[in-house]
Structure 1
């Protein structure tokens, strides 16, 4: 968990999906318990990482709070949807979303001029007034639903949203994503707690490693070469998702 926390803080990912993969594949934790525990742990992991990114100047507070608070509503609803899914289906969907997030991030960072990505990274996005609040709200609710339903922090989808809709520079998207995940993880974790899928002893064990690692990892983000950040953002969720599917087939 210490090593996982370092990677999560470094690339700005909430990491709940990757933690779920480790808990289910290595420690044989039931999927719903792993989902609830890891998502709840993200509350404190992102708090630690977000504070570090704030100190480093890698954050847009207005966008982070607006998207994050609306995302909290979506995450709570999503957690209730998740409890209706059988364990095998939830594991497959979670793995599939991790792989999809890796593909999306790779496509966005490698082919930024595709029509889908109509705003170039670093270009100013003209979003003011009601247009800003509507887009931020929809972005938050959509990512929150994904996070709460499938049990992962949706960091890659959030980062992609920030790059596309808000034309945010890569380093700022990393830090702002940590802030957005904080309320999403809090309300998603609350939903799983109320449904009885939160192991407190496991929660403490996961939390200690992730918090320390995320704080340290965030210190290296701005000093890392851009190509390394890009590949880590792609490989971490992609490999975790593939392993979950392959081991489940066995």
Structure 2
């Protein structure tokens, strides 16, 4: 049942084109009774593999700003390890509630970016040119650390937060912000996963089964993306973290 459920989830994630790590956590915890810390370890470990191929693809298409990604990724590497330590010292009930809250806040940011982009642009002016030199390091490392802590502690990629930071603070155009975000998430997920391994929270069998099912499902789901109306895709990009967060908060 776990393999079949993750197969379907992978197909949905591949179809929508979103990370979906938060929904994976919700399914493991609420659907199959996996302890929250183990679910976070599996989600981060899976994300390390699924985002790597996407980051390489974006890099080949020149949709990545390497230096900006490297600076934030370095900060995220440290932050994710710290986040994993924090997570492993939190009670399971509190961690589930906080993870659900993070998913709901991500859904809100995605909603604003997709459905209220003009309003969001008026409220938060986007930087017109790339941030470089010393300011890049002074802003990039701390922001990377914060995003890493959020990812490592709650098992989600923080993609919505990273993308907005890239555009607003670092002046990265939208298309390159998407690719650069994937690049940043790779070291974050690897470091966070290692943090959970050090605490003995990663179940190898559960991880391999989940990763295999997600990879197979995502491969076939991605082939259907171009067939779906754009409105359907936009809806599910917001709905996935919203549903996952709501279930996590109500049924933790």
TM-score scaled by length of structure 1? 0.85
What is the Cα deviation at residue 35 of structure 1?
0.8
Distance 1:143 1:191, change over 3 A: same
Residue number in structure 1 paired with 2:159: 155
Alignment partners' CA distance in 2, 1:69 and 1:9: 28
Question: Bigger CA drift: 167-176 or 64-73?
Answer: 167-176
**Per-residue Cα deviation, 1:155-208 (whole angstroms, up to 9, x for no partner):** 221122223223433333222222111100001010100001110000001111
One of 46, 54, 63 as aligned partner of 2:51: 46
What is the Cα deviation at residue 225 of structure 1?
7.7
Residue number in structure 1 paired with 2:180: 176
One of 132, 137, 158 as aligned partner of 1:128: 132
Question: Bigger CA drift: 105-114 or 150-159?
Answer: 105-114
Pairs within 5 Å for 1:30-45: 30-45=35-50
Number of corresponding residues: 244
Alignment partners' CA distance in 1, 2:143 and 2:47: 20
Secondary structure of 1:118's counterpart equals coil
**Higher helix share goes to which structure?**
2
Distance 1:216 1:159, change over 3 A: farther
Pairing 1:236–2:240 present:
yes
Residue 130 of structure 2 contacts residue 172 of structure 2 at CA under 8 Å; is this kept in 1?
Answer: no
Distance 1:90 1:118, change over 3 A: same
Alignment partners' CA distance in 2, 1:176 and 1:221: 22
Mark the runs of 5 or more structure 2 residues left unpaired by the alignment: 1-5
For the aligned residue pairs, the C-alpha RMSD in angstroms reads 2.7
Alignment partners' CA distance in 2, 1:58 and 1:218: 19
